[in-house]
Amino acid sequence: MARTIRVGDIGDYASQQMEKLLRVAVLETDSRLKQASPVDTGRFRVSWQVGENAAPGGEEPAGTYSGTPQIDRIGYREEKLGNVYSVHNNLPYAEPLANGSSKQAPAGWVQGIAKDIQGFVRVNADRIGRES
């Protein structure tokens, strides 16, 4: 069903829709990386963080973890248009794992998720366009 939007509110409505898409894309990226992460103790999986306009290092977690952790936003509370978001893992062995040093995760798994997210954004942008 078509939504009625006053002409003066079109810009705000479009911004709200784009921010929803941005938020969903960041959350989905974080979730897919965590779910695909090779797990021994769970430390690598729980170390994924999201940074705004930079990839600052957070604290390295200690101990053993289970399950898929919630999103760990560093230095911000909610995604907003005009910013750049990065999902990163600051553990010293993160890059070798991303490059296939684990039998549990083939080389290129991070790049594969990045490519999948591009398609995810396109599909959801089209859906938002149809529902608006």
pLDDT digits (tens, 9 = 90+) for 48-93: 999 999 765 655 555 556 666 788 888 888 999 999 999 999 899 9
Determine which of 19-28, 43-52, 96-105 has the lowest per-residue pLDDT on average. 96-105
Q: At 82, which amino acid appears?
A: G
What letter would DSSP give residue 107? T
pTM of the model: 0.82
Distance between CA 119 and CA 33 in Å, rounded? 16
Decide: helix, strand or coil at residue 52: strand
